[in-house]
Structure 1
């Protein structure tokens, strides 16, 4: 019995046929493989490749085609339509949100590239429905609203619909989405409706974006898959047809036609899983309920990296204990659109068999990134060409057979040695970057350029070039397994955690069997437990993945046509089935981002608009401030991305007033200043997006209760993270300015960390509001700490996504006790990072040109530990120093001051609390480097801040420390915001003297000109 795998690339279509009864033999059951050019219509190339391997396999069994159990195809065709913004293959999409009063503040398509939005935007509709994080309905579905929505979609001549319900992926089985879909189809059966719960996990905007892309490509996917089926019928293959998914598992053809987005990244994944199979390392480890796929115990079992070396690039991916590639963290951009579906994390470097070898004036040798690519046989010296390539160097060293070795005999030995040394260094560096644990590394080499590896690599225990390595992608498609996944949020208080996990595992196993897996082969390969921030009921997101081999049909013949994904009686599709009729339309601004306005300006000469001592905020300013607030977030404060989109939307659509910033000194002492910020769990706030009225409702309630007629300005509670930008929409709503400053100078986990309250000014009355119009008031409490506890209790009832608005204070208090110029500080920090990235200059040097501070450590994350205590995410991160080959010049300079190559441990309570020297096991040596209230920020290689929830093994990071405002250095300040305020029995350790941030208003105002 046989399985056929096909991988359709941009250049070649590969195919392989495997005998499943011989998978455990040395040849891994591969009977034949072939590589042929990808055809313009795709399907004829697939048919030709399958026909070729059927002929080459030399099987003498009568009617071999009846014994083919399945055909699996991996293709990049669907994602290419998005990247190319091909309007022939993309449809307009109407977005229907089931959200009740929520989510209005960030409309659909907010962060789409200009060209794709022009092609796809078919309107937005907001209906009742959706769930709270604990399973309560936000609002019941409204049949009259649904009918009116269908009428509006019809009138807009749109047939594709993305249906997105708040928290639809979590434990509700898409109840509202599926019910709404049935009601819509009952009114108009011609609609193509995609429900988001089948597309991605929580994170509404990113899941919605993926759902939109899926709906837009739906018609093309159906035509293409019909073409695949037609090709199989022409070959007289009646077995089930599957497509390979982004995570390396199978999806039957009919389901793939409804969810083509799940196949976008199948090509790289096929290569990785195929390589592991060919090397005999494909046996997934079964995890116990006590283990997590991210745990050290699980990752020690497998430490396999696949290194795919082609003609121009080397792609590296880590295989997890499950046997599947490590998935990219957080969000992935596809065609410039930020999405939530999983894709393998692949790091590429400019090293391949065709990489050019060059030298500078001093004789230093460089390898790549320029390459002769597919012209290797014409341009490389071993083939008589004029260009010295990486392949030439290896052949000249006598370590490989390629072309005519005599043609490189004249290459200087010093060049050969230097070239080989550089190749080795590049490979070792990228391998180190992709390690998933400290366990020994086993590298699997695939691709035609794998001949570049001629000797042992440092820190690599074993290096293997599997058999049939040149067909690894097609083999990976042929042997792909079936998965089932459960993604739920459970309240663990009062429950048996092991019983909850066991139930989730049983559901995941059942889902895998339902998708076609053999019941006796299903294994649990991933158990992730992710505690939610800022909750006290042990709310935990649980993700369980089960995987098993594809079941063999019970009948002896695979041609019965009743198996999952069997070929149906589709009308034969002739010609190019991959696009609708008509000329291809090229959209010039297809990839122009709407969320990165700074790309359109020269930041070195850009000047903010400052008139009459007022800074009028632009789209560019917002983007720079968003980066800066991330750095000032010190690990917490939540991401700034959503707040950036909210601000951009207001600027583009027009608010009630101008978005503007003033210095505190412009206010009269008696002017009242309002407060309002987001309060709850980021995991809720990023899914149940705000309506935009929560903060204003809270302020209006306080004004009514306190008899206040008007406010003179608004001040943000904390400049760190997303809340650092939350005041901009509020200022626009009331047409009042935002004060250049905040109440912390950073991020802290509680409201009582605001400096005004630290120094005795009242926080109450305080209002907590939601989008339903619910308002909870704390009129008085004996301490600010008590206010915080009361607010936390009410926040749980309101769904953990609220706005908190505390008592307005007089401007005289703000002038004395707020941290000044922090919006300016965020702007300067953001500008420094963006300019350094563009000019490829030292990022930390640029940061410290704007803000005092110093580099505390440069290294990589080798361990992250998390727990939840008192509603806060507690934990620590352990950092190891980089080796010389892993560092660029700036990192070598930064790390030269790190004595004895020590490690560093950084505990956190949402925000980073202190940094201390440690040994390799994370045991502190007693040397504290920096503590709160001074700012500790962890930056990625692009200069963007990494929050405590985003920490993971293998990230290369730089830790910086910045002095806090003197208000935090007094006895009162240290009691609340210093180590003692977090129960730490360590002294305050600072990183230098505070220097007031520069003011954008003063630097760019009329007086400065």
Structure 2
């Protein structure tokens, strides 16, 4: 049996085929197209043709895509969202969409309502929800919004009100209507959790188009009766149905695919990974085989959120980065020729000096026609390498948790531009097939489930709380497509809430399992 993995990057769309032993059968790269879909179809068709495998033996297909990220950044293809916040009048001073870019508010209609409901920080009732108030609001919004985001005050402690409002929406609009509940998406912190929930609701059309398009592309190539998964941003996979509920979890899945792929290829579970593409380099940290999660709020499209995101630093340095020498100063990037490197780089007959040209000139890479860069002064080329080394060293320092030199695993199609010596780096591991680590990471990933809630240990003992959180995380993993018999606990995070009189703790539990 075979697996197909496709990862859409900013420059290239990579496709690979793995056999039942997770060994690489074949890999291809195609330029990422403006519409994304064409690049996916091209790579899929190319890898199937060149690998020449029996299509009836393809059992799984995985896709890592940037479409949800692009939709938010570009303000395109987003649904009209209605926002229901359960917390009036307690939260009236800071309404929804506060500090949002005006163009984004206009795109999503900006419809919101503050209604009765919510809880106190210790789980005590703030106010009961008013079903008549909700139903009158839904009658007013009918045909004006395409999705609804529900946010309850301290719903991370108790979310029964959010679920009740969700049921009322489904009674009024039908069970196929898109509803996002904040307690299932974000962490503690009302505004950031609300923002993440609104964005999740806004992505319903994008994820529908993406999943349908991928399924149709597979069928068009004669691949039928195949399990289809999308990559999520913790280095694991999720089923199509789960992705439709939580499309926001696909954001930043590209770098995490590369990190997981690097871990598999290098057979290392704890290290730092640098994934160098055509335009950017992503730096992340592996902890026990999975990407380290960010502990701070993350901005997406200038909107502050607090949902689960990988701890990644991106720098404008890649194989297509443009090299300039102006006023005695050498710069590399952040602008890049991107997927046009095969036309514009000097070694390919173009007229733009890129980081790849420098690598070829110094003998670090063998591609194109090296005679076309022989005129570049070797001393100048070494200076450019020094600038590249400095850019990477500064980024690595930001990811370190100690002053000690670190080991890095180097992957990505543009990794040839990285020098062999970098300040603060003890060892650089280069792996075979590292150029398609992202697609490999997408293909070998497991299914995860995560649950986060504030528990009050004085009311519910710690062991009982841990068991409850793990059971709910397992349930999420099964919904996402995991085989329940293979699920195991991989991470527990406990953060006591300061000044709480009853020993309240934010508990986050993560489990992983094999595909069902």
Q: TM-score, normalised by structure 2?
A: 0.90
Residue 294 of structure 2 aligns to a residue whose secondary structure is coil
2:298 alignment partner in structure 1 = 332
Match of residue 451, structure 2, among 483, 486, 501: 486
Pair 1:403-2:390 in alignment: no
In the aligned structure 2, how far is the partner of 1:152 from the partner of 1:52? 51
Change (3 A) 1:359 1:78: closer
Residues 320 and 40 of structure 1: is their aligned pair in 2 closer, same or farther, counting only changes over 3 Å?
same
Question: Which digits, 9 at most, give the CA deviation of each residue in 1:595-632, with x for residues without a partner?
Answer: xxxxxxxxxxxxxxxxxxxxxxxxxxxxxxxxxxxxxx
Aligned equivalents of 1:12 and 1:413: distance in 2?
Answer: 30
Query: Secondary structure of 2:445's match?
Result: coil
User: Aligned with 2:219: secondary structure?
Assistant: helix
- Note if 1:280 corresponds to 2:243: no
The structure-2 alpha-carbon separation of the partners of 1:395 and 1:34, relative to structure 1 and needing over 3 Å to count, comes to closer
Following the alignment from structure 2 to structure 1, what is the Cα–Cα distance between the partners of residues 238 and 194?
21
In the alignment, the residues of structure 2 paired with residue 79 and residue 269 of structure 1 have an alpha-carbon distance, to the nearest angstrom, of 14
Q: Which shifted more, 371-380 or 441-450?
A: 371-380
The equivalent position to 2:273 in structure 1, one of 294, 302, 306, is 306
The CA deviation at 1:151 is 1.7
Instruction: Output the CA distance in 2 between the equivalents of 1:345 and 1:421.
Output: 26
Quote how far apart the aligned CAs of 1:416 are.
Answer: 3.2
State how far apart, in whole Å, the 2-side matches of 1:220 and 1:370 are.
Answer: 28
Q: Given that residues 350 and 369 in structure 1 are in contact (C-alpha distance below 8 angstroms), is that contact kept between their aligned partners in structure 2?
A: yes
Report what 1:765 is aligned to: none
Q: Which ranges of 4 or more aligned residues in structure 1 deviate by more than 6 Å?
A: none
Distance 1:537 1:75, change over 3 A: same
Equivalent runs, 1:922-961 vs 2, <5 Å: none
1:249 aligns with 2:215: no
CA distance in 1, matches of 2:114, 2:214: 38
Instruction: Tell me, yes or no, if structure 1 residue 96 matches structure 2 residue 63.
Output: no
Partner of 1:14: 14
Q: When the two structures are aligned, how many residues end up with a matched partner?
A: 514
Corresponding residue for residue 214 of structure 2 = 228
Contact 1:122 1:158 in 2 (8 A): no
Whole-angstrom distance in 2 between the partners of 1:31 and 1:253:
25
1:350-749 pair list within 5 angstroms: 350-359=316-325, 363=328, 365-437=330-402, 441-493=406-458, 497-498=462-463, 500-519=465-484, 521-551=486-516
CA deviation after TM superposition for structure 1 residue 200, in Å = 1.5
Match of 1:268 in 2: 255
Equivalent-residue separation in structure 2 for 1:94 and 1:494 (angstroms): 36
Q: Which residue of 1 aligns with 2:65?
A: 75
Q: Secondary structure at the residue paired with 1:488?
A: strand
2:30 is paired with a residue whose SS is strand
The answer (yes or no) to whether the contact 1:109–1:121 under 8 Å persists in 2 is no
Q: Is the 8 A contact 1:308 1:316 kept in 2?
A: yes
Deviation at 1:418, TM superposition (A): 2.6
Partner of 1:949: none
| Residue range with higher mean Cα deviation, 180-189 or 109-118 | 180-189
Q: Hey, what's the Cα distance between the residues in 1 that align with 2:85 and 2:326?
A: 58
- Alpha-carbon distance, 1:47 to partner: 4.0
Q: Given the superposition, is the C-alpha separation of residues 262 and 495 from structure 1 closer, same or farther in structure 2, using an over 3 Å criterion?
A: closer
What displacement does 1:58 show?
Answer: 4.0
**Is the aligned partner of 1:35 residue 2:2?**
no
Mark the CA change 1:6 to 1:407 in structure 2 (over 3 Å): closer, same or farther. Answer: closer
What is the DSSP-based 3-state SS (H/G/I as helix, E as strand, rest coil) of the residue aligned with 1:461? Answer: strand
* Runs of at least 5 residues in structure 2 that lack an aligned partner in the other structure: none
Give 1:343's aligned residue: 309
Question: CA-to-partner distance for each residue in 1:843-878, whole Å, 9 max, x for gaps?
Answer: xxxxxxxxxxxxxxxxxxxxxxxxxxxxxxxxxxxx
Q: What are the Cα deviations for residues 55-110 of structure 1, in whole angstroms up to 9, with x where unaligned?
A: 33344xxxx43433321112112222222222xx2232221122253211111112
**Is the contact made by 1:523 and 1:546 (CA closer than 8 Å) also made in structure 2?**
yes
Q: Please tell me whether the aligned partners of residues 274 and 282 of structure 2 are also in contact (alpha carbons under 8 angstroms).
A: yes
Residue 285 of structure 2 aligns to a residue in which SS?
A: strand
Instruction: After superposing the two structures, state which structure 1 stretch, 192-201 or 389-398, moved more.
Output: 389-398
Query: 1:369 and 1:254, CA in 2 relative to 1: closer, same or farther beyond 3 A?
Result: closer
Quote the offset at 1:387 in angstroms.
Answer: 4.8
- Confirm or deny: 8 A CA contact 1:15 1:33 kept in the other structure: yes
Which protein is bigger by CA-based radius of gyration?
1
Provide the alpha-carbon RMSD of the alignment: 2.8
Following TM superposition, by how much is the alpha carbon of 1:191 offset from its aligned partner in structure 2, in angstroms? 4.5
Contact 2:412 2:435 (8 Å CA) reproduced: yes
Question: 1:405 and 1:123 mapped to 2: Cα distance?
Answer: 59
CA shift digits 1:136-194 (9 cap, x unpaired): 3322332222221222222x733421111222233x4x322222221232233274322
**SS, match of residue 414 in structure 2:** helix
Within 2, Cα distance between the matches of 1:93 and 1:373? 34
With normalisation by structure 1, the TM-score equals 0.48
Contact map agreement 1:97 1:165 (CA 8 A) in 2: yes
Match of 1:238 in 2: 225
User: Structure 2 vs 1, CA of residues 180 and 365 (structure 1 numbering), >3 Å: closer, same or farther?
Assistant: closer
Q: Shift of the alpha carbon at 1:270?
A: 1.8
State the secondary structure of the residue aligned to 1:485: strand
Q: Matched residue of 2:299: which SS?
A: strand
Structure 2 residue corresponding to 1:56, chosen from 25, 44, 50? 50
Work out the CA distance in 1 between the residues paired with 2:160 and 2:386. Answer: 59
Q: 2:172 aligns with which of 171, 174, 187?
A: 187
Aligned to 2:224, the other structure's residue is in SS state: coil
CA distance in 1, matches of 2:363, 2:145: 63
How far is the alpha carbon of 1:40 from its aligned partner?
A: 5.9
In structure 2, the CA distance between the partners of 1:439 and 1:262, relative to structure 1 (3 Å rule), is same
Tell me if structure 2 keeps the 8 A contact 1:232–1:238: no
Secondary structure of the corresponding residue to residue 179 of structure 1: helix
In structure 2, C-alpha distance between the alignment counterparts of 1:276 and 1:192, rounded to whole Å: 36
1:201 to 2:187 alignment = yes
C-alpha separation in 2, matches of 1:379 and 1:508 = 49
Deviates more, 1:397-406 or 1:444-453: 397-406
User: Any conservation in 2 of the 1:309–1:446 contact (CA below 8 Å)?
Assistant: yes
Distance 2:35 2:353 in 1: 37
Q: In the aligned structure 2, how far is the partner of 1:43 from the partner of 1:364?
A: 40
- Partner residue in 1 for 2:161: 176
Please state how far the C-alpha of 1:427 moved relative to its aligned partner. 2.4
Distance 1:119 1:50 in 2: 33
- In structure 2, C-alpha distance between the alignment counterparts of 1:39 and 1:389, rounded to whole Å: 21
Q: Report the equivalent of 1:127.
A: 115
The 1:37–1:358 alpha-carbon spacing in structure 2 relative to 1, beyond 3 Å, is: closer
Q: Which residue of 2 aligns with 1:743?
A: none
Q: List gaps (5 residues or longer) in structure 1.
A: 24-28, 283-301, 552-1009
Q: Contact 2:10–2:278 at 8 Å: present in 1 too?
A: no
